[in-house]
Amino acid sequence: MHNIKTNFHIIFDICKSIFKDDVFDDGNFFRYPNKPKMSDIQLVALSLTAESLSIDSENHLFNKLKDEYYDEFFVLIDRTNYNRRRKKLSGFISQLGLKVCNIICPNCVKFIVDSMPLAICKNARKIRTTICKDDPDCLPATGYYAISKAYYFGFKLHLITSVEGIPVTVAITPANIADIDFLKFEEILDISDCQLLGDKRNISEPVQLSLFETKSIQLVTPLRVNMKGQTMWTKSAAYHRKKIETKISQLNDQFMVKKNYSKTSNGLISRLASKVVAIAALQFLNFSNQKSLNKLKTALAA
């Protein structure tokens, strides 16, 4: 189950089947003047394999490959080159979740949205830290996490999944951006003509109207205690929302999303994309093997 080479070939086959129409014959998304040691598909598969096996450090990953798989693995590229190319491929990596969703549930018309805190350092270090401050359009900020009743410094991770729990869209905003404000960035949403299940933090009549007019998205939320009126929120909607809460728990546990070794915004985004898309890859493997879709820890077991 924890053999990197065996699991790499499993995920490599998944990536080849899903991206078969997007790559050239040599397995690359781009034309390179000189053929790289690892193709783009191999690099994506290696990244997803590491995240699936809870290996969250590239240094640890490459040390294991050199020490334990030196004679039986493919030709490795330099770790710096691996990181640079993975950042370049993060857009393609992010598409895998939507492609898996279209395969497993091609006519999905219900999706779920939620968010979680993503701290990049302790509050005491936020004044002097330089982590992820290279992008002036998305700088880390101080936010409040109601569940733990504490302030943190960093970003907020926003996740959209299908009702089956397949990740479709992942994005980050500064921690002080409200959940409803994320939905105002309609251009980053990969869904349309559907119903989107939110929570009470997503209540906003102007945003609901805008989403419906621009992308035909019907935003459905429960009512607050002091609100009157009608809502399409049902017991079924409340049940479906548990799927995304389970995904967030799995991101914290198996994929260790809160462990951040990135120094730049692009590095953070590419790392998060790999972690979230690894979930979709394991779900596709469960779907192919006729297993329960969301039992991710046993997906690679024989």
Domain boundary assignment for the chain = 107-263
CA nearest neighbour of 251 among 276, 218, 223: 276
Q: What is the mean pLDDT of residues 49-78?
A: 82
| Tens of pLDDT, residues 123-148 | 999 899 999 998 888 899 999 998 88
Q: What is the mean pLDDT of residues 224-243?
A: 79
Spell out the residues 6+ positions from residue 45 whose beta carbon is closer than 8 angstroms to its own.
Answer: 8, 11, 12, 14, 15
Q: What is the mean pLDDT of residues 295-301?
A: 86
* Token pair listed for 210: 């805008």
The one-letter amino acid code at 270 reads S
Residue ranges in 108-234 assigned as alpha helix (H): 179-182, 205-215
CB 94 within 8 A of CB 155: no
| Cα angle: 28, vertex 30, 34; to 5 degrees | 80
Q: At 195, phi and psi to the nearest 5?
A: -110, 135
**pLDDT score for 37:** 84
Partners of 43 in the β-ladder = none
Spell out the residues 6+ positions from residue 179 whose beta carbon is closer than 8 angstroms to its own.
Answer: 113, 115, 156, 158, 198, 199, 201, 202
| C-alpha to C-alpha distance for 283 and 291, rounded to whole angstroms | 9
pLDDT > 90? residue 189: no
Residue 142, Cα to own-chain centre: how many angstroms? 22
| C-alpha to C-alpha distance for 245 and 228, rounded to whole angstroms | 27
| C-alpha to C-alpha distance for 175 and 143, rounded to whole angstroms | 5
The model's pTM: 0.91
CA nearest neighbour of 73 among 3, 9, 14, 5: 5
Residue 158 CA: distances (Å) to CA of 18, 26, 64, 118: 24, 34, 32, 10
**pLDDT score for 74:** 62
| C-alpha to C-alpha distance for 7 and 1, rounded to whole angstroms | 7
**pLDDT score for 58:** 86
CA nearest neighbour of 257 among 163, 199, 172: 172
* Token pair listed for 40: 């783009």
* Token pair listed for 53: 């096996």
DSSP 8-state code for residue 261: -
* Token pair listed for 230: 């009608």
Residue 175: HSE in the Cβ half-sphere, 13 Å Cα cutoff? 22
Reported confidence tier of residue 158, pLDDT bands at 50, 70, 90: very high
**Of how many residues is the chain composed?**
302
Check residues 189 and 288 and name the one with the higher pLDDT: 288
SS3 200: helix
